C-alpha cells in the first residue's frame, strides 16, 4: 500500500504531527518520528537500539539538525519544538513525504530539490540516511550539506537534562567520529560517505519539547548533546550517506561500503513491497516488524535441557521474541500468543511460529507460560491466562496447517499436559478449581487477566473470581487436551469429557444474564454474584475452537456485543450505558489507566468477534459483508493516520474514535489479518468485492 503526503498536508502541523513513521530492523531497534521529522515523543529517535546490558531500548541519536548551504544562505530541513516556537522550520520547504517502504522526504529550495531517505539495515544495528540533490537549472552554485547530530544516549522511558558530568568529547574515526556520552551505553559511530569534514564543536541544544508527552502527563522537555558538525559537499545526482551505528562501518571496506549496503537493502525492500499487493499480504509484511531476535551480549543463557538444545539447533537464528507494540512495549507472553497466529501461521511464516511455540513451551514452569519474557531467561510468571492462550495458539497452528501435528506432539504436548495438570491440581499461584471444575483466580488486590490496569495500587476493573474468558479458555484447553491425547495416543491421560459436560451446564447457569435489551453473559462470576457489565470478554465463550456456551445462546451474545461494543476500529471494553464508561482515553497516567479497559476500543478483539459472528450466523456471507463494511475505515482511513501503515493499540470509545496508545501493536495487526483470512474463507466472493473497492489508501 502507498501513503503519499503532498505539500499542503505537510504544512498543517496540527495534523501532520499526529502522523508518525516507523522503521525497524528485526533486532528490536527502531527509528521513528512525526511525518515532518519533528519529534513529539521522548520515544522518537533516528537510532533507538535494543540492548541486553543495560536491558531495554535506548535513544542514542535523537535527531539531526540538517541544512543545505548555497549562495551564502543556509536552508534548514529539520524541525524541533522549543518553548513558544518551532525552530528550525524545515517543514515549510517540504514538498512531499512518503512513510514507506522506508521514510522518504522531499524538499524544494527554488530550482534545487533535496531528498532525504531513512533506513535501518535488517539484522544490524545500523542507521543509514541518504541525501540526494537534484536541480532543474544547469547553473548550480556549490552546495554543502550541514549535519549536526543531536544525541540523547539514554533509556527510552527517560529524558536527558544538561549536566556537567556528560562526556561530550568525540574521537576521530575513518570518515567521521565516535562518541560515548553515557559510559553504560555502547560507543556510537557517526560516519559519512561523501566528500566531507567533521569538526568537533560540543554544545547543548536546550529545552526541546515533546508535545505528546506533555499531553500524557510525563516529562516532556529535554536537552540534547551536539558533539560536532559534519559538512558534506553535494553534487546533483550523486547521493551522500550519513550513518549512526554501534559498529564502525568503514574500518575495512573503504568508502563505497555504505552506498552498496543501501542499494542491497533497498532492492530487497522494494521487492517485498511489490509482492505485498493485497491487504492481507500487506498486513503480513507489516507484521514482520514485531518478530525480533533479541540481543544477547552473552546474557542469553545456554540451553538448560537437551530438549531446549534441540530447539535451538533446529530453529537457531529465527526470531525469539514478539515486540508487543512500538514504541514502548517489550515481549509479553499473552500478547505474543494472541498475536502469533496472525504474525506467523497465517502470514506464511510457519517455521518462525513453530520456533516461538517451541521456545515458549520450554519456558513453562509448573504449568505457567511466562508473561514477561527477558533475554537472560529470568522471565516473569505473573499471568493466569498466558498458559491458556498457549493452548489456543497451538490450535491455530493446527487449523492453519493440519500437517504440523508431529511438531505439536514433540514440542507442544509436554507443555499442554503440564498446563492442564498444574491448573487442575491447584499448583498454580492464585488459582484453584472449584467443585464444578472451574478456575477461581486472584483476589481483590490482583490483576491477572488482560484487563490489568491499576491506579494507586488498586485494580481499575477487579476481575478476581471466575472471569468469563478464563472459564472459556480453561474449558477449551481441557477439550483440546483430550482431543490431542487421543490423536497422539498419549499414555496415562485422564480424559475430562464427563467434567466438561457438567461444566457446560453450570457455565450457562452462572453467567447467563436475562435483560430486556437482549440476553448476554456476565463478565465475572464471584461467590454466587454476577458482574453484569457488558464487556467483550463474553465472546470467547463462543469464539474458541471448543465453545463452553451452548449453541442456542451464541446469537444472543454476538447480538449484544454488536449492539453495545462494535465500532469501525474494534470493540469497546465496556458498554456506553455503564455508569463508569469512559468515552475518551486522555489525561495523565491515572486518567488514562482509568479509561484503558472502561470503554476504550481495542482492535485485537475483532479476531474473536469474527469467529463468534460466523459461528452464530445462519447467513455467513451476509454476516461477513456487514462486518467488512463496518470495518472499512480501519483498513483505509486509519492506515493513513497515527502510525502510518500500521494499526494502533487502542481508540477512543466515542466517535471519531481517535487512535492512541502504541502506534503499531502486534496483536492489532495480527488479529486483523487473521480476521480477514477467516472472512475470506467463509465468503470468498463477498471478500473479493470488498477488497477490490478499498482503493490504495492515501491521505
Q: Which three cell numbers stand for residue 48?
A: 533507538
Domain residues for the domain of 534 are: 430-551
Instruction: Specify whether 545 is located in the same domain as 580.
Output: no
Read off the pLDDT of residues 354-403 as tens digits, 9 standing for 90 and up: 999 999 999 889 899 988 877 767 777 888 999 999 999 999 999 999 99
H or E element at residue 421: helix 413-424
Residues 159 and 200 in one domain: yes
H or E element that contains 80: strand 79-82
Please give the grid coordinates belonging to residue 90. Answer: 524545515
Closest CA to 657 of 578, 567, 531, 574: 567
Is the pLDDT at 210 greater than 80? The verdict is yes
SS3 annotation, 34-46 = ECCCCCCCCCCEE
Say yes or no: 192 and 117 in one domain: yes
pLDDT digits (tens, 9 = 90+) for 193-206: 888 999 999 999 99
> Could you say which of 246, 273, 300 is where a domain stops?
273
Under 8 Å CB-to-CB from 185, ≥6 apart: which residues?
51, 54, 58, 60, 153
Instruction: Answer yes or no: is pLDDT of 612 > 50.
Output: yes
The H or E element that residue 667 is part of is helix 666-682
Q: Output the pTM of the full model.
A: 0.95
Question: CA-CA distance, 37 to 404, in Å (whole number)?
Answer: 45
pLDDT tens track for 95-124: 999 998 999 999 999 899 999 999 999 999
- Enter the C-alpha cell of residue 89: 522550520
Determine the Cα–Cα distance for residues 189 and 294; give it in Å rounded to an integer.
21
User: 227 and 126 share a domain?
Assistant: yes
Tell me what pLDDT residue 489 has.
86
Nearest to 129 by CA among 141, 116, 140: 116
- Regarding whether 593 and 696 lie in a shared domain, the answer is yes
DSSP 341-352: HHHTGGGT-HHH
Same domain, 534 and 594: no
Position 301 pLDDT exceeds 80 = no
| 119 found inside a domain | yes
pLDDT in tens, 520-567: 999 999 999 999 999 999 999 999 999 999 999 999 999 999 999 999
Q: Are residues 490 and 586 in the same domain?
A: no
Number of domains observed in the structure of the chain? 3
Q: Residues 6 or more apart from 424 whose CB is under 8 A from it? A: 433, 437
Q: Which residue has the higher pLDDT, 279 or 257?
A: 279
Three-class SS of residue 134?
Answer: strand
| Structural domain includes residue 399 | no
Structural domain includes residue 556: no
CA atoms within 13 A on the CB side of 1: 26
317 inside domain? no
Q: Which helix (H) or strand (E) holds 684?
A: helix 684-692
- Burial of residue 146, with CB atoms counted within 10 A of its CB: 0-12 exposed, 13-18 middle, 19 or more buried: middle
- Helix H segments across 244-347? 257-275, 279-287, 306-315, 333-343
Average model confidence (pLDDT) for the chain?
Answer: 93
The residue among 219, 238, 273 that closes a domain is 273
**Cα 270 to Cα 292: distance, rounded to the nearest angstrom:** 21
Among 518, 551, 584, identify where a domain stops: 551
- Residue 699 in this model has a pLDDT that exceeds 50: no
For residue 100, is it within any domain?
yes
Residues 441 and 488 in one domain: yes
Same domain, 520 and 655: no
- DSSP one-letter code for 160: -
CA dist 572 and 557 (Å) reads 15
Cα–Cα distance, 560 to 100 (Å, whole number):
39
Q: In sequence order, what E strands does 385-531 have?
A: 431-433, 439-441, 454-455, 458-459, 466-467, 512-513, 520-521, 524-526, 529-531
pLDDT at residue 457 greater than cutoff 80: yes
Q: Is 612 helix (H, G, I), strand (E, B) or coil?
A: helix
CA distance 547 to 552: 12
601 and 685 both lie in a single domain: yes
Judge if 520 and 610 occupy the same domain. no
Residues 446, 523, single domain; the answer is yes
Whether 697 shows a pLDDT value over 50: the answer reads no
CA-to-CA distance for 418 and 683, rounded, in angstroms? 38
Using pLDDT thresholds of 50, 70 and 90, give the confidence band for residue 309.
confident
**Domain annotation covers residue 305:** no
For residue 349, the number of C-alpha atoms closer than 13 Å in the C-beta half-sphere is: 26
Residue 479: per-residue pLDDT: 97
pLDDT value of position 303: 67
Confirm whether 333 is domain-assigned: no
Please report which residue ranges of 497-566 form alpha helices under DSSP H: 497-511, 540-543, 554-564
Specify if 235 maps to a domain. Answer: yes
CATH (domain of 148): 2.70.98
Give yes or no for a contact between 93 and 77, defined as CB atoms under 8 angstroms apart: yes
Amino acid at each position: 500500500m502507498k501513503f503519499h503526503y503532498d505539500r499542503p498536508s505537510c504544512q498543517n502541523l496540527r495534523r501532520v504531527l499526529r502522523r508518525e513513521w516507523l522503521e525497524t530492523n528485526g533486532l528490536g531497534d527502531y527509528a521513528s518520528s512525526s511525518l515532518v521529522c519533528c519529534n513529539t515523543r521522548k520515544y522518537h529517535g533516528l537510532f533507538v537500539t535494543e540492548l541486553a546490558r543495560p536491558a531495554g531500548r535506548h535513544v542514542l541519536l535523537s535527531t539531526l539538525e540538517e541544512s543545505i548551504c548555497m549562495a551564502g544562505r543556509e536552508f534548514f530541513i529539520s524541525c524541533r519544538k522549543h518553548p513558544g516556537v518551532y525552530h528550525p522550520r524545515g517543514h515549510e520547504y517540504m514538498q512531499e513525504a512518503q512513510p514507506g517502504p522506508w521514510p522518504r522526504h522531499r524538499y524544494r529550495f527554488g530550482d534545487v530539490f533535496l531528498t532525504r531517505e531513512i533506513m535501518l539495515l535488517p539484522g544490524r544495528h545500523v542507521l543509514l540516511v541518504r541525501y540526494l540533490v537534484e536541480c532543474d537549472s544547469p547553473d548550480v552554485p556549490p552546495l554543502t550539506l550541514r549535519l549536526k547530530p543531536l544525541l540523547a544516549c539514554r533509556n527510552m522511558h527517560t529524558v536527558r537534562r544538561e549536566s556537567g558530568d556528560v562526556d561530550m568529547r568525540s574521537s576521530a574515526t575513518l570518515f567521521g567520529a565516535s562518541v560515548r556520552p553515557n559510559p553504560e551505553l555502547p560507543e556510537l559511530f557517526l560516519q559519512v560517505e561523501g566528500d566531507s569534514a567533521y569538526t568537533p564543536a560540543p554544545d547543548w541544544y536546550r529545552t526541546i519539547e515533546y508535545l505528546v508527552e506533555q499531553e500524557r502527563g510525563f516529562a516532556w522537555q529535554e536537552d540534547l548533546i551536539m558533539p560536532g558538525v559534519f559538512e558534506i559537499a553535494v553534487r546533483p545526482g550523486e547521493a551522500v550517506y550519513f550513518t549512526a551505528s554501534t559498529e564502525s562501518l568503514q574500518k575495512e571496506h573503504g568508502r563505497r561500503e555504505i552506498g552498496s549496503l543501501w542499494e542491497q537493502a533497498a532492492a530487497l525492500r522494494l521487492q517485498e513491497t511489490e509482492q505485498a499487493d493485497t491487504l492481507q499480504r500487506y498486513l503480513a509484511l507489516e507484521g514482520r516488524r514485531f518478530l525480533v531476535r533479541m540481543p544477547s551480549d552473552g546474557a542469553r543463557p545456554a540451553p538448560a535441557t537437551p530438549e531446549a538444545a534441540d530447539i535451538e539447533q533446529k530453529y537457531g537464528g529465527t526470531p525469539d521474541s514478539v515486540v508487543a507494540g512500538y514504541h514502548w512495549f517489550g515481549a509479553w507472553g499473552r500478547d505474543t500468543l494472541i498475536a502469533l497466529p496472525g504474525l506467523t501461521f497465517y502470514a506464511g511464516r510457519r517455521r518462525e511460529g513453530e520456533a516461538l511455540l517451541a521456545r515458549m513451551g520450554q519456558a513453562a514452569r509448573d504449568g505457567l507460560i511466562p508473561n514477561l519474557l527477558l533475554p537472560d531467561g529470568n522471565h516473569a510468571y505473573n499471568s493466569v491466562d498466558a498458559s491458556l492462550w498457549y493452548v489456543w495458539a497451538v490450535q491455530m497452528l493446527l487449523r492453519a496447517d493440519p500437517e504440523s501435528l508431529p511438531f505439536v506432539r514433540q514440542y507442544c504436548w509436554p507443555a499442554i499436559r503440564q498446563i492442564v495438570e498444574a491448573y487442575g491440581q491447584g499448583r498454580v499461584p492464585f488459582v484453584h478449581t472449584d467443585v464444578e471444575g472451574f478456575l477461581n483466580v486472584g483476589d481483590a488486590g490482583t490483576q491477572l487477566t488482560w484487563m490489568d490496569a491499576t491506579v494507586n495500587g488498586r485494580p481499575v476493573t477487579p476481575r478476581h473470581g471466575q472471569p468469563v474468558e478464563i472459564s472459556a479458555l480453561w474449558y477449551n484447553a481441557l477439550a483440546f487436551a483430550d482431543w490431542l491425547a487421543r490423536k497422539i495416543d498419549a499414555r496415562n491421560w485422564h480424559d475430562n469429557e464427563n467434567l466438561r459436560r457438567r461444566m457446560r451446564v453450570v457455565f450457562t447457569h452462572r453467567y447467563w444474564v436475562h435483560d430486556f435489551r437482549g440476553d448476554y453473559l456476565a463478565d465475572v462470576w464471584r461467590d454466587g454474584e454476577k458482574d453484569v457489565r457488558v464487556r467483550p470478554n463474553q465472546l470467547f465463550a463462543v469464539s474458541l475452537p471448543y465453545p463452553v456456551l451452548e449453541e442456542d445462546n451464541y446469537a444472543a451474545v454476538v447480538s449484544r456485543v454488536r449492539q453495545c461494543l462494535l465500532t469501525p476500529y474494534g470493540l469497546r471494553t465496556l458498554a456506553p450505558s455503564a455508569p463508569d464508561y469512559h468515552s475518551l482515553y486522555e489525561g495523565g497516567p491515572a486518567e488514562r489507566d482509568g479509561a484503558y479497559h472502561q470503554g476504550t476500543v481495542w482492535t485485537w478483539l475483532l479476531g474473536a468477534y469474527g469467529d463468534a459472528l460466523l459461528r452464530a450466523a445462519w447467513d455467513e456471507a451476509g454476516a461477513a459483508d456487514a462486518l467488512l463494511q463496518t470495518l472499512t475505515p480501519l483498513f483505509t482511513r486509519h492506515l493513513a493516520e497515527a502510525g502510518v501503515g500500521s494499526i494502533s493499540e487502542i481508540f477512543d470509545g466515542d466517535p471519531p474514535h481517535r487512535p492512541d496508545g502504541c502506534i503499531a501493536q502486534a496483536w492489532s495487526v495480527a488479529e486483523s489479518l487473521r480476521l480477514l483470512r477467516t472472512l475470506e474463507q467463509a465468503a470468498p466472493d463477498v471478500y473479493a468485492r470488498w477488497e477490490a473497492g478499498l482503493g490504495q489508501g492515501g491521505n
